[in-house]
Amino acid sequence: MNNETIHWADVIAEEALSRNKNHTVASGITPSGAIHIGNMREVVTADAVYRALKDKGADVRLIYIADTLDPLRKVYPFLSKDYESHVGKPLSDIPCPCGSHKSYSEHFLLPFIEALHTLGIKPDVYRADELYKEGKYVEAIKKALLGKDKIAAILSEVSGRELEPGWSPYNAICTACGRLNSTKVTGFDPEKETVDYVCKCGSTGTVSMKGGGKLTWRVDWPARWPIFGTTVEPFGKDHATAGGSYDTGKRISREIYGYEPPHPIVYEWIMLKGKGAMHSSTGLAISINDMLDIVPPEVLRYLIIRQKPEKHIEFDPGLALLNLIDEYDMVEGDKRAYQLSQTEGTKLSNIPYRHMVTAVQIADNRGFDHLLTVIARTNYDTSDIEGIRQRADNARNWLAKYAPLFVKFKVQETLPPQVKSFTKEQKKALVMLADEFEHGMSGQDIHDTVYKVAQETGLEGKDVFETVYLALLGIKSGPRAGHFLASLEKDFVVNRFKEASM
């Protein structure tokens, strides 16, 4: 592999290995809403580097930290007004929106973990509320509270913002109202491992450092690095701005916790074409499960891995998605990205996605066996029943949700009225095509024959194609004619062409 073709994940792995041989690649997110493909950039990026390090023989593990102790910041559009009373409470302490999970955070986290496994990503998953309750952060909390003034100076110096009087690096959870964002620390006892607070609700109290609250984000993040031995971590560009949380985190990590900060991987957003960056809180997003309904997991990985993290990805779920799947299926793009995109048991379908989009529309709703018959007409192997079923489901879901109108069609059971306006040249072309079709032809043969017929009838090639589509679909355009016609039942095509030429 030369320097011109080396993949970005391998570059990062080499840089990390130049520092040490043992690594922990970390990723994390706050499960405050449905996890969408924009969020996936972080964890797929982390997994790509984890695999690259593993390929180079490193002793490496992949971890995922869910910030389940973060407070609910507002009532998002997808929540009922009842959640107004829970704003400010830790996500792990709020009721599940559907009533089937033990908490709000689990409602969004569990489907995400399931999606990760589908994508071939299997990190060690940690929940912040459990980590705090288990006492994993106790020493970090003590150091933060004892070094409060030094941390405050770092935050002011690096971020340029003045902290309010009495600022504390720790937020206690009020035992009366349950809120995390309305308390103020008034004292602490490092021996008893407790923190005293006063709350805006009017109550005062004392909580244990084991689960009674959490460090503020800018302190929590660097505090967890030595806890897990994090050496590599991707994060969004919002954390990487000058004076942002990574800049302050580096100083806090070194000066308070005596730990060298992890190798940073700054990533750009995934943009929804024509609409901007994805945000679940605004509803501008495609959920990971919706995405996996329309593409194989390997293609979703490939979408992210083929692009350098620092470059934004403009995601178009329409026709551009077909091109991406074609690129992946034919292994025509970045070969290393292709390797890093594989999931356990990855098996390329021998039926191109684009052809499946045509096949399922020809088969319409006449059952899976009929679909197999349609596919077999173009000489594709139909022995991989489950693989065909999965790809067919993907194609149908794509057609229903994201396909442009011009991709959709329906083979007309009766002669379309548009044929009444055919010229004698168009009718002659159909007669000639019907005669040729009687002998049976491959997709390429059909394509070549259309141009031969055009020449002999004095028509343009596009006019003959248009005539074919009008006779079969009642519209002027359709899927690639060769494979489309070859996928149809021969006698049906011959009879239709003859009928339309009368």
Amino acid 2: pLDDT:
41
Q: Does residue 421 lie in a domain region?
A: yes
Q: Does residue 352 lie in a domain region?
A: no
Q: Does residue 266 lie in a domain region?
A: yes
Domain count, the chain: 2
Taking 3-state DSSP, the helix, strand and coil percentages for the chain, each rounded to the nearest 5, stand at: 50, 15, 40
| Dihedral angle sign, alpha carbons of residues 154, 159, 161, 165 | negative
pLDDT tens digits, the chain, 502 residues: what are they? 344 469 999 999 999 999 999 999 999 989 998 888 888 999 999 999 999 999 999 999 999 999 999 999 999 999 999 999 999 999 999 999 999 999 999 999 999 999 999 999 999 999 999 999 999 999 999 999 999 999 999 999 999 988 998 999 999 999 999 999 999 999 999 999 999 999 999 999 999 999 999 999 999 999 999 999 999 999 999 999 999 999 999 999 999 999 999 999 999 989 887 776 766 656 667 888 888 999 999 999 999 999 999 999 988 899 999 889 988 888 777 899 999 999 987 777 889 999 999 999 999 989 999 999 999 999 999 999 999 999 999 999 999 999 999 999 999 999 999 999 999 999 999 999 999 988 878 888 998 999 999 999 999 999 999 999 999 999 999 999 999 999 999 999 999 999 999 8
Specify the DSSP class assigned to residue 419: G
Amino acid 36: pLDDT:
83
Amino acid 443: pLDDT:
85
Amino acid 284: pLDDT:
65
Q: Which two tokens stand for residue 280?
A: 């679940």
How far is the C-alpha of 419 from the C-alpha of 422, rounded, in Å? 5
Amino acid 309: pLDDT:
96
Q: Does residue 38 lie in a domain region?
A: yes
Counting Cα atoms < 13 Å in the Cβ hemisphere of 258 gives 3
What angle is formed at CA 68 by the lines to CA 143 and CA 70, rounded to 5 degrees?
A: 65
| Residue pair 304/49 in contact by the 8 Å Cβ criterion | no
Domain-terminating residue out of 270, 286, 313: 270
Partnered with residue 185 across adjacent β-strands are: 197
Its domain, for residue 216, covers 8-270
Domain-terminating residue out of 270, 289, 307: 270
CATH number for position 77? 3.40.50.620
The residue with tokens 């620390």 is 185
Amino acid 266: pLDDT:
97
Q: Which two tokens stand for residue 107?
A: 């409602």
What angle is formed at CA 37 by the lines to CA 233 and CA 309, rounded to 5 degrees?
A: 40
Domain-terminating residue out of 250, 270, 290: 270
Task: Tell me the CA distances in angstroms from 205 to 135, 181, 464, one per residue in order.
Answer: 20, 15, 83
Q: Which residues make Cβ contacts (< 8 Å) with residue 327, sequence separation at least 6?
A: 333
How far is the C-alpha of 222 from the C-alpha of 250, rounded, in Å? 7
CATH number for position 495? 1.10.10.350
Q: Does residue 465 lie in a domain region?
A: yes
Specify the DSSP class assigned to residue 36: B
Q: Which of 79-92 are b and which e, b meaning 16 or more Cβ less than 10 Å from the residue's Cβ? A: beeebeebbbbbbb
Q: Which of 166-181 are b and which e, b meaning 16 or more Cβ less than 10 Å from the residue's Cβ? A: ebbbbbbbbeebbbbb
How far is the C-alpha of 364 from the C-alpha of 339, rounded, in Å? 35
How far is the C-alpha of 276 from the C-alpha of 285, rounded, in Å? 10
Counting Cα atoms < 13 Å in the Cβ hemisphere of 161 gives 11
Query: Strands of 276-277's sheet, edge to edge?
Result: 276-277, 270-272, 313-315
